[in-house]
Protein backbone atom coordinates (compact mmCIF):
# COMPACT_ATOMS: atom_id res chain seq x y z
CA UNK A 1 0.00 0.00 0.00
CA UNK A 2 3.02 2.20 -0.51
CA UNK A 3 3.12 3.39 3.12
CA UNK A 4 -0.16 5.25 2.75
CA UNK A 5 -2.47 4.66 5.70
CA UNK A 6 -5.70 5.99 7.23
CA UNK A 7 -4.99 9.08 9.36
CA UNK A 8 -7.20 11.92 10.57
CA UNK A 9 -10.89 11.02 10.97
CA UNK A 10 -12.99 13.00 8.48
CA UNK A 11 -16.42 11.53 9.36
CA UNK A 12 -16.82 9.66 12.65
CA UNK A 13 -18.98 6.60 13.28
CA UNK A 14 -21.44 8.67 15.32
CA UNK A 15 -21.74 11.29 12.56
CA UNK A 16 -22.31 8.58 9.96
CA UNK A 17 -25.00 6.93 12.03
CA UNK A 18 -26.89 10.16 12.70
CA UNK A 19 -26.72 11.41 9.11
CA UNK A 20 -27.69 8.07 7.54
CA UNK A 21 -30.76 8.01 9.81
CA UNK A 22 -31.72 11.53 8.63
CA UNK A 23 -31.23 10.62 4.97
CA UNK A 24 -33.33 7.50 5.47
CA UNK A 25 -36.19 9.50 6.96
CA UNK A 26 -36.11 12.02 4.10
CA UNK A 27 -36.03 9.29 1.44
CA UNK A 28 -38.86 7.37 3.14
CA UNK A 29 -40.98 10.53 3.20
CA UNK A 30 -40.29 11.39 -0.46
CA UNK A 31 -40.74 7.86 -1.84
CA UNK A 32 -43.62 6.50 0.27
CA UNK A 33 -45.89 4.41 -1.98
CA UNK A 34 -43.49 4.61 -4.95
CA UNK A 35 -41.53 1.39 -4.40
CA UNK A 36 -38.20 2.86 -5.53
CA UNK A 37 -35.25 0.83 -6.82
CA UNK A 38 -32.11 1.85 -4.96
CA UNK A 39 -29.12 1.32 -7.26
CA UNK A 40 -25.85 1.05 -5.35
CA UNK A 41 -22.60 1.73 -7.16
CA UNK A 42 -20.06 -1.00 -6.43
CA UNK A 43 -17.84 -1.37 -4.74
CA UNK A 44 -17.61 1.89 -2.83
CA UNK A 45 -21.29 2.31 -1.93
CA UNK A 46 -21.94 -1.12 -0.47
CA UNK A 47 -21.41 -0.18 3.19
CA UNK A 48 -23.42 3.06 2.92
CA UNK A 49 -26.16 1.26 0.99
CA UNK A 50 -26.45 -1.48 3.63
CA UNK A 51 -26.92 1.08 6.41
CA UNK A 52 -29.14 3.36 4.32
CA UNK A 53 -31.72 0.76 3.28
CA UNK A 54 -32.17 -0.26 6.92
CA UNK A 55 -32.99 3.37 7.73
CA UNK A 56 -35.77 3.56 5.07
CA UNK A 57 -38.94 1.94 6.44
CA UNK A 58 -40.91 1.71 3.15
CA UNK A 59 -41.21 -0.92 0.39
CA UNK A 60 -38.20 -0.70 -1.90
CA UNK A 61 -36.01 -2.85 -4.13
CA UNK A 62 -32.22 -2.89 -4.33
CA UNK A 63 -29.84 -3.52 -7.17
CA UNK A 64 -26.20 -2.76 -7.98
CA UNK A 65 -24.01 -1.67 -10.85
CA UNK A 66 -20.26 -2.05 -10.99
CA UNK A 67 -18.43 0.95 -12.35
CA UNK A 68 -14.74 1.62 -12.57
CA UNK A 69 -13.40 5.10 -12.91
CA UNK A 70 -10.13 4.93 -11.03
CA UNK A 71 -7.37 2.48 -11.92
CA UNK A 72 -6.85 1.38 -8.31
CA UNK A 73 -4.95 4.45 -7.16
CA UNK A 74 -5.83 7.88 -5.84
CA UNK A 75 -6.09 9.74 -9.15
CA UNK A 76 -9.01 9.90 -11.57
CA UNK A 77 -8.41 8.31 -14.96
CA UNK A 78 -11.35 10.36 -16.27
CA UNK A 79 -12.66 7.19 -17.90
CA UNK A 80 -15.68 5.23 -16.74
CA UNK A 81 -16.45 1.60 -17.50
CA UNK A 82 -19.54 -0.49 -16.65
CA UNK A 83 -18.11 -3.71 -15.25
CA UNK A 84 -21.38 -5.26 -14.04
CA UNK A 85 -24.96 -4.37 -14.87
CA UNK A 86 -28.29 -4.25 -13.02
CA UNK A 87 -30.20 -7.49 -12.61
CA UNK A 88 -33.66 -5.80 -12.58
CA UNK A 89 -35.42 -3.93 -15.38
CA UNK A 90 -36.00 -0.31 -14.33
CA UNK A 91 -38.41 0.89 -17.03
CA UNK A 92 -41.22 2.84 -15.33
CA UNK A 93 -39.58 2.56 -11.90
CA UNK A 94 -38.39 5.33 -9.60
CA UNK A 95 -34.61 4.93 -9.41
CA UNK A 96 -32.43 6.32 -6.64
CA UNK A 97 -28.71 6.05 -7.35
CA UNK A 98 -26.68 5.49 -4.17
CA UNK A 99 -23.06 6.66 -4.59
CA UNK A 100 -20.18 6.82 -2.14
CA UNK A 101 -18.63 10.07 -3.37
CA UNK A 102 -19.00 12.55 -6.20
CA UNK A 103 -15.65 14.04 -7.12
CA UNK A 104 -15.27 15.16 -10.76
CA UNK A 105 -18.88 14.11 -11.43
CA UNK A 106 -17.85 12.01 -14.46
CA UNK A 107 -18.86 8.65 -12.96
CA UNK A 108 -22.27 9.88 -11.88
CA UNK A 109 -23.13 11.56 -15.15
CA UNK A 110 -22.10 8.45 -17.09
CA UNK A 111 -24.36 6.32 -14.88
CA UNK A 112 -27.27 8.74 -15.03
CA UNK A 113 -27.20 8.75 -18.85
CA UNK A 114 -26.90 4.98 -18.93
CA UNK A 115 -29.90 4.48 -16.60
CA UNK A 116 -32.06 7.17 -18.21
CA UNK A 117 -31.76 5.36 -21.55
CA UNK A 118 -33.79 2.54 -19.95
CA UNK A 119 -36.80 4.85 -19.48
CA UNK A 120 -37.26 4.83 -15.71
CA UNK A 121 -40.02 7.02 -14.27
CA UNK A 122 -37.45 9.13 -12.39
CA UNK A 123 -33.75 9.12 -11.52
CA UNK A 124 -32.45 10.86 -8.41
CA UNK A 125 -29.15 10.66 -6.57
CA UNK A 126 -28.14 10.06 -2.95
CA UNK A 127 -24.45 10.52 -2.22
CA UNK A 128 -22.63 10.00 1.04
CA UNK A 129 -19.80 12.47 0.43
CA UNK A 130 -19.72 15.42 -1.95
CA UNK A 131 -16.31 16.79 -2.94
CA UNK A 132 -18.04 19.85 -4.33
CA UNK A 133 -14.79 21.71 -5.06
CA UNK A 134 -13.61 19.01 -7.53
CA UNK A 135 -16.42 19.08 -10.06
CA UNK A 136 -15.47 18.92 -13.78
CA UNK A 137 -19.04 18.36 -15.00
CA UNK A 138 -22.21 19.56 -13.24
CA UNK A 139 -23.95 16.94 -11.13
CA UNK A 140 -27.44 17.34 -9.65
CA UNK A 141 -27.48 15.73 -6.20
CA UNK A 142 -30.80 15.18 -4.43
CA UNK A 143 -29.57 13.83 -1.06
CA UNK A 144 -26.08 14.64 0.24
CA UNK A 145 -24.68 13.13 3.43
CA UNK A 146 -21.62 15.32 3.92
CA UNK A 147 -19.70 17.91 1.93
CA UNK A 148 -16.02 17.05 2.34
CA UNK A 149 -12.81 18.80 1.28
CA UNK A 150 -10.60 17.64 -1.59
CA UNK A 151 -8.75 14.95 0.32
CA UNK A 152 -8.52 11.29 -0.59
CA UNK A 153 -10.55 9.35 1.96
CA UNK A 154 -10.74 5.70 2.98
CA UNK A 155 -13.07 3.66 5.18
CA UNK A 156 -16.85 3.02 5.30
CA UNK A 157 -16.65 1.59 1.76
CA UNK A 158 -13.94 3.88 0.39
CA UNK A 159 -10.76 2.08 -0.61
CA UNK A 160 -7.17 2.73 -1.47
CA UNK A 161 -5.87 0.00 -3.80
CA UNK A 162 -8.65 -2.28 -2.54
CA UNK A 163 -7.90 -1.82 1.17
CA UNK A 164 -9.54 -0.03 4.13
CA UNK A 165 -13.18 -0.39 2.98
CA UNK A 166 -13.91 -2.14 6.29
CA UNK A 167 -13.04 0.77 8.59
CA UNK A 168 -16.24 1.85 10.38
CA UNK A 169 -15.45 5.58 9.87
CA UNK A 170 -14.09 7.78 7.08
CA UNK A 171 -10.47 8.89 7.38
CA UNK A 172 -8.01 10.86 5.25
CA UNK A 173 -5.36 8.76 3.51
CA UNK A 174 -1.97 9.90 4.78
CA UNK A 175 1.71 9.24 4.19
CA UNK A 176 3.53 7.75 1.21
P1 LIG B 1 -15.71 10.99 -10.02
O2 LIG B 1 -16.05 10.30 -11.31
O3 LIG B 1 -14.44 11.77 -10.12
O4 LIG B 1 -16.85 11.82 -9.47
O5 LIG B 1 -15.30 9.89 -8.98
C6 LIG B 1 -16.19 9.11 -8.34
C7 LIG B 1 -15.55 7.80 -7.98
O8 LIG B 1 -14.15 7.94 -7.69
C9 LIG B 1 -16.17 7.26 -6.72
O10 LIG B 1 -17.28 6.44 -6.98
C11 LIG B 1 -15.02 6.53 -6.05
O12 LIG B 1 -14.98 5.21 -6.51
C13 LIG B 1 -13.78 7.25 -6.52
N14 LIG B 1 -13.27 8.22 -5.52
C15 LIG B 1 -13.27 9.57 -5.61
N16 LIG B 1 -12.72 10.13 -4.53
C17 LIG B 1 -12.39 9.12 -3.71
C18 LIG B 1 -11.79 9.06 -2.39
O19 LIG B 1 -11.47 10.08 -1.74
N20 LIG B 1 -11.61 7.83 -1.87
C21 LIG B 1 -11.95 6.68 -2.53
N22 LIG B 1 -12.50 6.69 -3.76
C23 LIG B 1 -12.73 7.89 -4.34
Give per-residue pLDDT as tens, 104-138.
Answer: 999 999 999 999 999 999 999 999 999 999 899 99
Ligand 1-lining residues (CB < 6 angstroms): 41, 44, 69-70, 76, 99-108, 152-153, 158
Q: Which long-range contacts (CB under 8 A, 24 or more apart) does 132-137 make?
A: 134/103, 134/104, 135/102, 135/103, 135/104, 135/105, 136/104, 136/105, 136/106, 137/104, 137/105, 137/106, 137/109
For residue 129, what pLDDT is reported?
A: 98
Give per-residue pLDDT as tens, 44-65.
Answer: 999 999 999 999 999 999 999 9
pLDDT band at 77 (very low <50, low <70, confident <90, very high): low
CA of 32 to the centre of ligand 1 (A): 30
pLDDT band at 70 (very low <50, low <70, confident <90, very high): low
Nearest CA to ligand 1 atom 14: 101
Q: Is the pLDDT of residue 79 over 90?
A: no
Amino acid sequence: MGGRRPGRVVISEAELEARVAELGRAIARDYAGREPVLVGVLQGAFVFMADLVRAIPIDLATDFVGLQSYEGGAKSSGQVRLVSDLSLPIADRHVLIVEDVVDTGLTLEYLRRNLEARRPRSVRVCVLADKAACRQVPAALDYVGFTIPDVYVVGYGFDYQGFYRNLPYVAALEGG
